[in-house]
A and B are shown apart, each in its own frame.
Chain A
Amino acid sequence: GDSVTQMEGPVTLSEEAFLTINCTYTATGYPSLFWYVQYPGEGLQLLLKATKADDKGSNKGFEATYRKETTSFHLEKGSVQVSDSAVYFCALSDRGSARQLTFGSGTQLTVLP
């Protein structure tokens, strides 16, 4: 079945540091890939998505590129801010299935001033 593996957290960085959160996936079909962000006490928000190989999703300074050859969708940001502290979830949706998103376990990011 489909699965998503994210790097273990928590991740603690200083403000303006470079961020990478690794995400790899296995899927039977040709999935769409997503990053969601969950701020404390809130629901998940869609951060960015990519629907085909080599697509780059971007939003709020975050980027992720759909790499079919390495089955990866790593999240990056060049300079993190304290306000980026949140839990980040990688997810996939199998295009052949209307059933659900499959989520990774989430990575807690804390950015210190």
Chain B
Amino acid sequence: EAQVTQNPRYLITVTGKKLTVTCSQNMNHEYMSWYRQDPGLGLRQIYYSMNVEVTDKGDVPEGYKVSRKEKRNFPLILESPSPNQTSLYFCASSLTRAGDGYTFGSGTRLTVV
């Protein structure tokens, strides 16, 4: 089944403890992206990647890192999480440009206390 898989689905962590949210797609998509969803703010892009080793900032990149060493994987790294990063995170992928339409993962609900 074609899908984007995120892990974990739920995570509660403490301020400052480094964490990684994994994202993997099995559709050979070139384009991958991370979004956060917050009430009243909709979906905001954190980082995106147009292909292996090609990443760029979205609208809200502060406090996050990404890497794209393989085509299928696009992990999101929070080096020192803070409470304002409590959010619902989505990974998405697209065959090429965003105009093709995204396939989204099921989401990761992160709580930083």
Chain B residues close to A by CB (< 8 Å) = 4, 31, 33, 40-43, 45, 48, 50, 56, 58-59, 90, 92, 96-99, 101-107
Contact = CB atoms under 8 A, between A and B. Distances in A.
4 closest residue pairs by CB, A with B: A43-B104, A93-B99, A32-B99, A105-B42
A44 interface: yes
Interface string A25-59: 00000011010100000111110010100000000
B17 to A, nearest CB: 26
Contact of A98 (B31, B90, B106): B31
B82 to A, nearest CB: 24
Q: Which of B33, B96, B102 has the most C-beta atoms of chain A within 10 angstroms of its own C-beta?
A: B102
A103 B42 contact: yes
| Interface size class of chain A, counting residues whose CB lies under 8 Å from the partner chain | 20 to 34
Contacts of A105: 40-42
A23 to B, nearest CB: 13
A73 interface: no
